[in-house]
Amino acid sequence: MTKKVKIGFVGVGNISSRYLNNITKTFREIEIIGVCDLVREKAEEAVEEYKISKLYNDMYELFSDPEVDIVLNITEAFNHYEVTKAALSAGKNVYSEKPLAHTFPLAKELYELAQSKGLYLGGAPDTFMGAGIQTARKLIDSGFIGEPFGASARMIQHGPEYWHPDSEPFYGFAGGPVLDMGPYYTTALINLLGRCKSVTTVATKPYKQRVKLAEPRYGSLIDVDVQTYCNSILEFDSGAVANTLMTFDVFHPNYATLEIYGTEGTLFVPDPNCFSGKLTLMRESKKTVDIDMLFPYTEESRGLGLADMAKAIKTGRAHRADSRQQLHVVEMLTFMASEEPGTYIMETPFERHLPMKQNAAPGILD
């Protein structure tokens, strides 16, 4: 077997087990070489549970290890910029959790730094590479709904303070529903409809404080520093128009919907925060058809974009969850979460990468 691409983790928090599991069990062409965390015990636990060979004292020790091919940045959103910048500066390829950075200028700086150093930079979300969005894309590209002219994306929930042990940052400068959850919906939209041309937004903040309902610090108050009820209209180069609502303020039974409207039908798309789900096509009034998934990765597959980037490093081909896509998304998000209502004209380019292939051996990228 050819040599595996070696991944070093910076941060081993809440979501890390998904990456640890999937890299260990699913993605055959990458391996975990080592981990570090500001809270050393978390790194020690991961090393023991997943039989990882190296535990670094800090991220700088990890960056100086010549065996590390890709730094996986799964720190909190407010740390993404600093950690990614330090890793790139040390000459490492980086795959970052979403968002690439919490402002458009900072994301642009990282993008340009990677370009200038000839390093690979990419990151989450990679759910758009899963069976749900890929099957939707196949149907749209094959003309099943005619010409797509509209879309609606809603992420409606009452905040992460119910479940996340460290929920405070979700209401700080790098948080809010748009920066935290918006990447899934915007990434899916641009992969289905193409480049976004303009963003028009009115966003508000109904609650000035939130009550923490998860341990530790149950019952403590969290100040809200970001807009949490964010309504946007996105216009695409194709002429399609999407309306989006991203909020942490609403009690609602259906937390996510993504619908694409075409001249010959409507597609009800699985939640882009997941890799699969119910996909329904409606082409005649009151008649819906459930569509089977046509691609692999129906299960939780976080790390798919990382495995794809590793394959790109080995073969020289492009990778799908790349920083050009992340930068386009951060530019959209920055204005979808803006305190100032208004219209923003997008400046970054974007072209969709190739769709996923029907690979006979899931876990090995094309």
Write out the residues near ligand NAD by the rule CB under 6 A. 10-16, 36-39, 42, 59, 74-77, 79, 83, 97-98, 166, 180
3-state secondary structure the chain: CCCCEEEEEECCCCCHHHHHHHHHHCCCCEEEEEEECCCHHHHHHHHHHHCCCEECCCHHHHHCCCCCCEEEECCCHHHHHHHHHHHHHCCCEEEECCCCCCCHHHHHHHHHHHHHHCCCEEECCCHHHCHHHHHHHHHHHCCCCCCEEEEEEEEECCCHHHCCCCCHHHHCCCCHHHHHHHHHHHHHHHHHHCCEEEEEEEEECCCCEEECCCCCCCCCEEECCCCCEEEEEEEECCCCEEEEEEECCCCCCCCEEEEEEECCEEEEECCCCCCCCCCEEEEECCEEEECCCCCCCCCCCCCHHHHHHHHHHHHCCCCCCEHHHHHHHHHHHHHHCCCCCEEEECCCCCCCCCCCCCCCCCCCCC
Minimum gap (Å) between residue 184 Cβ and ligand NAD: 9
**The dihedral sign for the CA sequence 120, 272, 135, 351:** negative
Rounded to 10°, the helix 323-336/104-117 angle is 170
- Shortest approach of ligand NAD to residue 73 CB, angstroms? 8
Question: Measured from the CB atom, is 12 or 30 closer to ligand NAD?
Answer: 12
CB nearer ligand NAD, residue 6 or residue 98: 98
Between 31 and 61, name the residue whose CB sits nearer to ligand NAD. 61
Of residues 174 and 258, the one with the C-beta less far from ligand NAD: 174
| Residue 125 beta carbon to ligand NAD: minimum distance, rounded to whole angstroms | 8
When CB distances to ligand NAD are compared, the closest residue is 13
- Nearest approach in angstroms of CB 322 to ligand NAD is 18
Tell me how far, at minimum, the Cβ of 291 lies from ligand NAD, in Å.
26
How remote is the C-alpha of 175 from its chain's centroid? 14
| Of residues 13 and 172, the one with the C-beta less far from ligand NAD | 13
Q: Which is nearer to ligand NAD, 166 or 235 (CB)?
A: 166
Min separation Cβ 98 and ligand NAD, Å: 6
Between 60 and 143, CB nearer to ligand NAD: 60
Q: How far is the CB of 160 from ligand NAD (least distance, A)?
A: 8
Q: How far is the CB of 241 from ligand NAD (least distance, A)?
A: 28
CB-nearer residue toward ligand NAD: 99 or 296: 99
